[in-house]
Amino acid sequence: MDFKRQTEELNNIPIQTVASLLKVTLPRTGSARCPLPDHDDKRPSFEIKSSGTRWVCYGCNRSGGSIDFVKEYCGLTFIGAKRWLVDRAQVNPSSSARFRSSRKAGLTSRPQDEKSRESAPDVEVYECFLDLCPLQTNGLQYLASRAISDKTVAAFRIGQLQDTKVVLATLIKSIGFDRMERSGLLTKKSTRTNPHLVFAEGSLVFPFLENERVAYLQGRAIGPAETRGTWRNLNHRQRRIYNVDALAQNITTDRFAICEGVMDTLSALDLNYIAIGILGVNAKLTADQAKQLRGKEIDILLDWDTAGNKGAVKLQRELNRYGVISTRKSQPSARARDLNEFLMETRGLA
């Protein structure tokens, strides 16, 4: 069997089956506390998608199929994880057909396919949504408590979802269900008669500006909704680079930072960096984006934890391929595990 075919076969194995091989209890689909050994998850940040064969952890920002699960759980290479699965899962045509039939038809698609098929971001819908989401006092207070300056908050057009029902009804009326659905703003379970926004009531809303227009949105629950998971992405849309416009900035006096996530990117900006944010340590820049980094002085400021350190090594190697030299910065203080914690420390807030 060729490499690609075998990868597909192995990734058809339900995550729950793989977990039980690893003596880990997980539901067939839905949320659980992250079982990965280097993530001390206090809340259920780990989700098994409705296909049963894809997982994502919103806490440690890792995701994948069965092979990636074994890889992350056992600390193996991709090839090593495949071998581990082949040894145990007895993948042959009949068993993989069984695995396949356990997936719900129509719900599975590989990220690669999604990427090539994905329509351009519906900028108008996102702008419309953001206009209905002015930042509230508690949102401003939250950002201030994380040491993000008012200037940065305003420049990055951070909003907040308040009165979800009214916002949703307004959008459906002006934009229509289908277009809302395509934009990724509705949950997977949404129906025409029962639509739901992907972001929770009270969430901060972070627009991803590209050429100063909103090309993507990420929500962060604050307050009571936070217990149901912190960060939310658009449904079925490829995640994008935060503050990607910075790549085209040609200021050579400032250092350029690659950060993990939105909050750290905003923190880097408040620490006088030019910065972009990747969502998850395994996120990749496109070749064109990587090439735009040539000649810049780049600091890699991913989280100072196992996933961040591993991600930094991978990212450096990847950037190297495009002739981009970068520095993995060491932990900026004894206590700061990420850049926002460091910013809070320097502002006397931690």
Positions that interact with Zn ion (CB under 5 A): 34, 36, 39, 57, 59-60
- Tokens 């209905």 label which residue? 132
Rounded to a whole number of angstroms, the minimum distance from the CB of residue 307 to Zn ion is 8
Taking alpha carbons only, the member of 49, 54, 58 closest to residue 68 is 54
**Which structure tokens are listed for 177?**
């269900």
Which of 181, 303 has the CB closer to Zn ion? 303
Rounded to a whole number of angstroms, the minimum distance from the CB of residue 45 to Zn ion is 6
Which of 60, 135 has the CB closer to Zn ion? 60
CA distances (Å), origin 32, targets 60, 200, 280: 13, 19, 19
Which of 95, 230 has the CB closer to Zn ion? 230
Distance, in Å, from the CA atom of 284 to the CA atom of 294, rounded to the nearest integer, reads 16
Rounded to a whole number of angstroms, the minimum distance from the CB of residue 57 to Zn ion is 3
C-alpha torsion sign, points 12, 58, 339, 274 = positive
Residues 6 or more apart in contact with residue 49 via CB below 8 angstroms? 29, 55, 56, 107
Which of 60, 67 has the CB closer to Zn ion? 60
State the alpha helices, DSSP H only, in 132-279.
Answer: 137-145, 150-155, 164-175, 177-183, 261-270
Rounded to a whole number of angstroms, the minimum distance from the CB of residue 321 to Zn ion is 28
- Tokens 């029902």 label which residue? 165
Which of 164, 230 has the CB closer to Zn ion? 230
Rounded to a whole number of angstroms, the minimum distance from the CB of residue 197 to Zn ion is 24
Rounded to a whole number of angstroms, the minimum distance from the CB of residue 33 to Zn ion is 9
Residues 6 or more apart in contact with residue 329 via CB below 8 angstroms? 299, 300, 301
E strand map for the chain: 30-32, 46-48, 55-57, 62-64, 159-160, 204-210, 213-220, 231-233, 256-260, 274-278, 298-301, 326-328
Q: How many residues does the chain have?
A: 350
Rounded to a whole number of angstroms, the minimum distance from the CB of residue 226 to Zn ion is 16
Which of 8, 41 has the CB closer to Zn ion? 41
Which of 43, 157 has the CB closer to Zn ion? 43
